[in-house]
Chain A
Amino acid sequence: MLRWLIGGGREPQGLAEKSPLQTIGEEQTQNPYTELLVLKAHHDIVRFLVQLDDYRFASAGDDGTVVVWNAQTGEKLLELNGHSQKITAITTFPSLEGCEGKNQLILTASADRTVIVWNCDTGRQVQKVSCFQSTVKCLTVLQRLDVWLSGGNDLCVWNRKLDLLCKTSHLSDTGISALIEIPKNCVVAAVGKELIIFRLVAPTEDSLEWDIVEVKRLLEHQDNILSLAKINDWSFVTGSHVGELIVWDVMDWTVQACERNFWDPSPQLDAQQEIKLCQKPNDISIHHFTWDEENVFAAVGRGLYVYNLQTKRVIACQKTAHDSSVLHIAKLPHRQLISCSEDGSVRIWELREKQQLAAEPVPTVFFNMWGFGRVNKQASQPVKKQQENATSCLLELIGDLIGHSSSVEMFLYFEDHGLVTCSADHLIILWKNGERESGLRSLKLFQKLEENGDLYLAV
């Protein structure tokens, strides 16, 4: 670490940034995804994936179309055309209580300043709202109140029938970048550096009108807030462009914990200032969160950090988990974490208790043996920095999924059908467990044989 610091001072910045990337060889015994299916329907960057039910998902992107897919077969079910410009937000609007799965709606917002409500069973466009002053950047459904909110330069509240119930005044030109629901009919909106708490006033006997009022502005962040997530019933978390992670109390909106030093997991180091200089802010911006009961997982720049809520400290980190920014992460069962990045790869990690000495990863000997293999020069030096004492766990790379040729924007995990990734190369890839699929196919084969009456059981 020290050597790196000194070196960092001397070397040109570009080189200094090239901290070793952990790689895994071609042998990935724990990687279950041995089958892939490329789905092609979009003509531009695919940015959003949203799960509709157990087997369907929708994808949306810059080409303005929404495509509904069967996650099991990879079959294209519906193509929804209606937007003239790129889609900026998508969410599902679950149907009213009771009849689940029926008449499920999708809300899509687009840069053409419209919001369209789709029926994702029929592919029909249910309704279209085009009275927006600005592009809607986020959509949130408050299911309890059966209303939905759209956030652009202002915040609007709509009911299921797409009547505008109420709206705020113009908030900012940059607009609302993120929006979540918190208890007491409140929502948190991230507007630039600020977090604004709004309270939604439902109609009562006194007034039949809906209203939305600003309750509080939280100004702790130094830079633009990029990510906002509610992690449990009593707290939500925000992350900013300069690597500030703040855990807030849901009820009184106070700071529960704050972590600002994401470039370095050891907070007691003094050299903070110097290091911040030689590190681009982009490398420590917090793009995405995921969480489980104990930990918040943050995608910080190119790295992954695990922040323990109890101990209020980073328990594990992988400073260069990818070659470039991590865009989306998700927590899987069995302490697994999946991350996708602008470098076009998806990686599967496992959170392990730290042993005395972690085994060195197996070098990929044959990778460089021939002419063109030079691209990954770093690959053959599997330097895995031992973390400082502060980190008690480590993120072990157990597999990577290479398929996309451009930035992987998002992914979606299906318990039964595997992983869906979408990318800027216009493709969606369905990653499946080959062994399980093979078994399923055999099952289907014998079903078909039985249907055809071709199945004879041996006596």
Chain B
Amino acid sequence: MISAPDVVAFTKEDEYEEEPYNEPALPEEYSVPLFPFASQGANPWSKLSGAKFSRDFILISEFSEQVGPQPLLTIPNDTKVFGTFDLNYFSLRIMSVDYQASFVGHPPGSAYPKLNFVEDSKVVLGDSKEGAFAYVHHLTLYDLEARGFVRPFCMAYISADQHKIMQQFQELSAEFSKASECLKTGNRKSFAGELEKKLKDLDYTRTVLHTETEIQKKANDKGFYSSQAIEKANELASVEKSIIEHQDLLKQIRSYPHRKLKGSDLSSGEMEHTQDQPDQAATTSNPDECADTDLYTCRPAYTPKLIKAKSAKCFDKKLKTLEELCDTEYFTQTLAQLRHIEHTFRGDLCYLLTSQIDKALLKQQHITNFLFEDFVEVDERVVEKQASTPPPSSQDRPPSRSLGECPIPQVLISVGSYKSSVESVLIKMEQELGEEEYREVEGTGLSSFDPQENLDYLDMDMKGSVSSGESIEVLGTEKPTCVLATSDSQASLTVSLSPQVVRSKAVSHRTVSEDSIEVLSTCPSEALIPEDFKASYPSAINEEESYADDSEGAIHFQVGVSLPELGEAEEGSLENATSQTDSCCIGKESDSLQGPLSTPVPTLSDKNGVVSTPPQRYRQTDQGFHVDFTVENASPSSRDNSSEGCPAYELDPSHLLASRDVSKTSLDNYSDTTSYVSSVASSSWDRTPSCAHPAGPSSERHKKRAGQNALKFIRQYPFAHPAIYSLLSGRTLVVLGEDEAIVRKLVTALSIFIPNYSRYAKPVKHWVSSPLHIMDFQKWKLIGLQRLASPASAGTLHALSRYSRYASVLDLDNKTLRCPLYRGTLVPRLADHRTQIKRGSTYYLHVQSMLAQLCSKAFLYTFCHHLHLPAHDKDTQELLASRQASFLKLNLGLVNEDVKVVQYLAELLKLHYMQESPGTSHPMLRFDYVPSFLYKI
């Protein structure tokens, strides 16, 4: 027992925790100033390089054919987020790097407008003036009224942290691809609908015209046609041509998903999902199915109207908004996905990387991780898919550097230039052939002059599809190239190589950017750099290598160096020029990195003691090059010298997040529903893969609060150890109190010690006011119980005393605990009331690591064959029991009651392992006939 002075001390300390202790004010000259930005409510890490926005956001912009690049929306849709950041300006930037946008038109030699199924392109760019770096994802949507039927859009993830964009490139790419795929699917659906309407209109127009011509024919039988009649006939002909064109377009758009799906891996999750919903299935499934065509045709009756054969062009109409371009359901889904992306990637990079490592490690403990982790299987399926996809084999493609195959010619041909529709059938055949050829050529053409094509593991989406028009640009993932633009000679070089020049070669009528843009890497444009220019770069390479030497083999992005120099870089440096060096260095770079970088790995795994394999990112199937990333991520310390000046372990992620988290959900409300939410979310996971993740930063917040309150509990109550022992050993703890808020708070705090039955729900009941029942003890391991002052509570208390053998009771009002004795050593380490840990999140992590250790003990105990099965026939039960006892005591170092904790966890492991359908039933209630003791403060 702890004496009274101790208790006083604890409560004092506790109060100290809550609000800063007010010392008598020091004279000004002696006081240490607080962090200078603290008053602004900002943390020192959020503002890098004076970016004009406070946190990362997603920008969607369009290259409008009427007004040029324009921002459409941001996520989060809050002006505070991007602040004074010039969205228009930045839209211009990001839209101007879309080398890819190949406009649909009439390919040479074909009589019909063709829809070009353009793959998305992914570009990373930085804008030093704005202090912004962006992952830019370009995509095209179809619009019947738009020029060439396409509308170029882009989604950009904008961050002030260049490293984040670079290091999370694959994740961003994968997530944005999902969003893009969703948007495009919805767009195809609505495009097809529009085409149908248009066809109906045309059909109606034709009938009307036809009758008119007939009437006219009958009206004058002079043997020659009036000019009016000829005009009508011409109009009729053009209508017919238009019908055929549109039918062809409809056929193309319908056949798209089929073609596309054959090669698509990544988006199939999306597809599976959409097929669940019958009304959406139409767009994604095979168009040959009759149900599908039904869905296309059986729309609500549409009254056709008389239209002109040639639609009005360009400026005399209002273009559709993004929302109108896409099926509503898909649009909302896309937005949800984008919000999810924003949610996932917000916060500091260190934190993102740590949590990724954390997740990867947890995945490896797939047998035990259900016990204490409230970890939802996020990308399990994606990972599995990636594992199953073969590595890309684009190196096999024959190199050809002919720029002639660039899609420029398409643009030059306008849609309405056909003269007759008579030869349609014949030409159509040829044209289809030609199309295939063309596409192939285009594919090889584009990929072949992309020296980094072998890196296209980044996007599994494209693999196997005929038209792999995609190309991935990773700027300087290998080398810190952006620093190089400082030398005068290069500045002069880059001026001549301004994107204007490059761009104009690729797509002739792009709005060209001004000089402050840094297209960090766009491979095609790099490929467009003439050979002789490349030859003049050796100096750049040398200089770069001198930097690389400093980095001791670790991959550095050199923020520290580059950031101050960004100002200089502003003066008209086009840094995409330097990205050319990537192609030169990549081979040797990856070779040289693999050796030295593998060293941090063992230390990490040693520390853990559980994991035998080195930590990797959760995409473990990537190529060797990627492994370098992994290693680099796993050793954050190696990056310490790269400028931030704050070691990773001092970063408090939740602190970083706290200022950004605008949600005002109270802890209690939130926590009350956590178990429910997580169970629902995870069970419905398959159905709505793109909906909000429950395990986002908000749960981070929750963890932090829980940790803080648990810490408080440990300091405040000298009998915290037996209480925690109860929780760990599966004996239900009832928290009894009058005040709901206090009880809920404590229950939430203590729930971090509760082993779960399965992955889906925590056995925690935050608040009950009715008498407890035996079922409650079987179901819940932590219960908040209301103590009523009225006689009505007699029943509650009676039930509690009746079932006293199944539960430990913590009485908050009287500050007593009734529970069995605990004499182990485990809990004192887990919950040391004299701990130096101050922060809730730190304590939470401490608990998690201790529990992970415990889990591994339970795992060993459970899966040691000789402990549970007789090795020889003569082995008796007694022998087994003594063997188990000695294993627990000697091998696992458990004393007294600690044994019971491991035994309980072992039972849970057994049950979980054997369960065919997890989460269906509650496990049995296990209990011991042990005397309880009453603890008082």
Q: Residues of B contacting A448 with CB < 8 Å?
A: 913-914
Which of B811, B816, B865, B867 has the most C-beta atoms of chain A within 10 angstroms of its own C-beta? B865
Q: Residues of A contacting B913 with CB < 8 Å?
A: 445, 448
Q: Residues of B contacting A29 with CB < 8 Å?
A: 929
Tell which of B774, B910, B934 touches A38, judged by Cβ atoms closer than 8 Å: B774
Q: Give CA–CA (A34, B907) in the complex, Å.
A: 13
Sampled A-B contacts (17; CB under 8 Å): A26-B805, A26-B929, A26-B930, A26-B931, A26-B932, A36-B927, A37-B778, A38-B778, A369-B818, A375-B797, A405-B799, A427-B775, A437-B924, A439-B877, A443-B868, A445-B910, A445-B914
Say yes or no: B865 contacts A441, CB within 8 Å.
no
Say yes or no: A35 contacts B814, CB within 8 Å.
no
Stretch at the interface among A151-159, A215-223, A237-245, A396-404: A396-404
**Known: A26-B805, A38-B774. Contact between A375 and B929, CB under 8 A?**
no
Say yes or no: B774 contacts A405, CB within 8 Å.
yes
Q: Does B925 contact A (CB under 8 A)?
A: yes
Q: Residues of A contacting B927 with CB < 8 Å?
A: 34-36, 434
**Known: A26-B805, A369-B934, A427-B774. Contact between A36 and B929, CB under 8 A?**
no
Q: Residues of B contacting A404 with CB < 8 Å?
A: 774
What residue of chain B has the Cβ atom nearest to residue A457's Cβ? Answer: B865
Could you give, for residues 308-329 of chain A, a 1 whenever the CB lies within 8 Å of some chain B CB and a 0 otherwise?
Answer: 0000000000000000000000
Q: Does A444 contact B (CB under 8 A)?
A: yes
Q: Give CA–CA (A413, B610) in the complex, Å.
A: 44
Minimum distance in angstroms from B826 CB to a CB of chain A: 20
Q: Does B12 contact A (CB under 8 A)?
A: no
Given A26-B931, A372-B800, 4 more A-B residue pairs with CB atoms under 8 Å apart are A26-B930, A37-B925, A442-B867, A455-B865
Q: Does B823 contact A (CB under 8 A)?
A: no
Tell which of B778, B868, B928, B929 touches A439, judged by Cβ atoms closer than 8 Å: B868
Measured CB to CB, the residues of B under 8 A from A are 773-775, 778, 797-805, 809, 811, 814, 816, 818, 862-863, 865, 867-869, 877, 880, 903, 907, 910-911, 913-914, 924-934
Which of B797, B801, B911, B927 has the most C-beta atoms of chain A within 10 angstroms of its own C-beta? B801
Say yes or no: B818 contacts A366, CB within 8 Å.
yes
Tell which of A40, A366, A372, A441 touches B932, judged by Cβ atoms closer than 8 Å: A366
**Known: A26-B931, A366-B931, A441-B907. Contact between A34 and B774, CB under 8 A?**
no
Minimum distance in angstroms from A336 CB to a CB of chain B: 16
Q: Does A376 contact B (CB under 8 A)?
A: yes
Q: Give CA–CA (A404, B799) in the complex, Å.
A: 11
What residue of chain A has the Cβ atom nearest to residue B805's Cβ? Answer: A26
Minimum distance in angstroms from A73 CB to a CB of chain B: 9
**Known: A26-B932, A36-B778. Contact between A371 and B926, CB under 8 A?**
no
Q: Does A288 contact B (CB under 8 A)?
A: no
Could you give, for residues 342-370 of chain A, a 1 whenever the CB lies within 8 Å of some chain B CB and a 0 otherwise?
Answer: 00000000000000000000001011011
What residue of chain A has the Cβ atom nearest to residue B796's Cβ? Answer: A372
Q: Give CA–CA (A367, B809) in the complex, Å.
A: 12
Minimum distance in angstroms from B411 CB to a CB of chain A: 59
Q: Residues of B contacting A403 with CB < 8 Å?
A: 774
Q: Give CA–CA (A339, B811) in the complex, Å.
A: 34
Say yes or no: B869 contacts A443, CB within 8 Å.
yes
What residue of chain B has the Cβ atom nearest to residue A434's Cβ? Answer: B926
Minimum distance in angstroms from A200 CB to a CB of chain B: 46
Q: Residues of A contacting B903 with CB < 8 Å?
A: 438
Q: Does A97 contact B (CB under 8 A)?
A: no
Minimum distance in angstroms from A348 CB to a CB of chain B: 12
Could you give, for residues 442-453 of chain A, a 1 whenever the CB lies within 8 Å of some chain B CB and a 0 otherwise?
Answer: 111110110000
Tell which of A371, A376, A439, A455 touches B797, judged by Cβ atoms closer than 8 Å: A371
Q: Residues of B contacting A26 with CB < 8 Å?
A: 804-805, 929-932
Tell me if A's interface is mostly helix, strand, loop or mixed: mixed
Which of A367, A437, A445, A448 has the most C-beta atoms of chain B within 10 angstroms of its own C-beta? A445
Say yes or no: A34 contacts B926, CB within 8 Å.
yes
Measured CB to CB, the residues of A under 8 A from B are 25-29, 31, 34-38, 40, 74, 364, 366-367, 369-373, 375-376, 399, 402-405, 427, 429-430, 432, 434, 437-439, 441-446, 448-449, 455, 457-458
Q: Residues of B contacting A441 with CB < 8 Å?
A: 907, 910-911, 914
Say yes or no: B925 contacts A402, CB within 8 Å.
no
Say yes or no: A370 contacts B934, CB within 8 Å.
yes
Say yes or no: B803 contacts A371, CB within 8 Å.
no
Q: Residues of B contacting A446 with CB < 8 Å?
A: 865, 868-869
Minimum distance in angstroms from B872 CB to a CB of chain A: 14
Say yes or no: A37 contacts B924, CB within 8 Å.
yes
Say yes or no: B932 contacts A34, CB within 8 Å.
no
Q: Residues of A contacting B930 with CB < 8 Å?
A: 26-27
What residue of chain A has the Cβ atom nearest to residue B903's Cβ? Answer: A438
Q: Give CA–CA (A35, B53) in the complex, Å.
A: 59
Q: Give CA–CA (A370, B869) in the complex, Å.
A: 45
Q: Residues of A contacting B868 with CB < 8 Å?
A: 439, 442-443, 445-446
Say yes or no: B797 contacts A438, CB within 8 Å.
no
Tell which of B818, B863, B911, B924 touches A370, judged by Cβ atoms closer than 8 Å: B818
Minimum distance in angstroms from A450 CB to a CB of chain B: 10
Q: Give CA–CA (A383, B775) in the complex, Å.
A: 33
Minimum distance in angstroms from B790 CB to a CB of chain A: 14
Minimum distance in angstroms from B464 CB to a CB of chain A: 33
Q: Residues of A contacting B798 with CB < 8 Å?
A: 372, 375
Say yes or no: B775 contacts A28, CB within 8 Å.
no
Q: Give CA–CA (A146, B101) in the complex, Å.
A: 89
What residue of chain A has the Cβ atom nearest to residue B775's Cβ? Answer: A38
Q: Residues of A contacting B926 with CB < 8 Å?
A: 34-35, 434
**Known: A366-B931, A439-B877, A448-B913. Contact between A372 and B907, CB under 8 A?**
no
What residue of chain B has the Cβ atom nearest to residue A404's Cβ? Answer: B774
Minimum distance in angstroms from B802 CB to a CB of chain A: 6
Say yes or no: A31 contacts B929, CB within 8 Å.
yes
**Known: A371-B814, A405-B773, A439-B877. Contact between A27 and B929, CB under 8 A?**
yes
What residue of chain B has the Cβ atom nearest to residue A399's Cβ? Answer: B929
Say yes or no: A25 contacts B801, CB within 8 Å.
no
Q: Give CA–CA (A430, B818) in the complex, Å.
A: 27
Q: Residues of B contacting A364 with CB < 8 Å?
A: 931
Q: Residues of A contacting B803 with CB < 8 Å?
A: 402
Minimum distance in angstroms from B603 CB to a CB of chain A: 28
Q: Give CA–CA (A26, B821) in the complex, Å.
A: 13
What residue of chain A has the Cβ atom nearest to residue B911's Cβ? Answer: A441
**Known: A34-B927, A443-B868. Contact between A429 and B801, CB under 8 A?**
no
What residue of chain B has the Cβ atom nearest to residue A449's Cβ? Answer: B863
Minimum distance in angstroms from B720 CB to a CB of chain A: 18
Minimum distance in angstroms from A429 CB to a CB of chain B: 7
Minimum distance in angstroms from B233 CB to a CB of chain A: 76
**Known: A442-B910, A444-B914. Contact between A402 and B805, CB under 8 A?**
yes
Q: Residues of B contacting A34 with CB < 8 Å?
A: 926-929
**Known: A38-B774, A372-B801, A373-B801. Contact between A28 and B929, CB under 8 A?**
yes
Minimum distance in angstroms from A25 CB to a CB of chain B: 6
Q: Residues of B contacting A442 with CB < 8 Å?
A: 862, 867-869, 910
| Interchain residue pairs A-B with the least CB separation, the first 9 | A372-B797, A442-B868, A28-B929, A37-B924, A369-B934, A441-B910, A403-B774, A26-B931, A27-B931
Q: Give CA–CA (A262, B102) in the complex, Å.
A: 102
Minimum distance in angstroms from A457 CB to a CB of chain B: 7
Q: Residues of A contacting B818 with CB < 8 Å?
A: 366, 369-370
Q: Residues of A contacting B800 with CB < 8 Å?
A: 372
What residue of chain A has the Cβ atom nearest to residue B929's Cβ? Answer: A28
Minimum distance in angstroms from B429 CB to a CB of chain A: 55
Say yes or no: B931 contacts A35, CB within 8 Å.
no
Q: Residues of A contacting B924 with CB < 8 Å?
A: 35-37, 74, 430, 432, 437
Q: Residues of B contacting A429 with CB < 8 Å?
A: 774
Q: Give CA–CA (A34, B926) in the complex, Å.
A: 6
Q: Give CA–CA (A426, B863) in the complex, Å.
A: 38
Minimum distance in angstroms from B197 CB to a CB of chain A: 55
Minimum distance in angstroms from B154 CB to a CB of chain A: 48
What residue of chain B has the Cβ atom nearest to residue A442's Cβ? Answer: B868
Q: Residues of A contacting B811 with CB < 8 Å?
A: 370-371
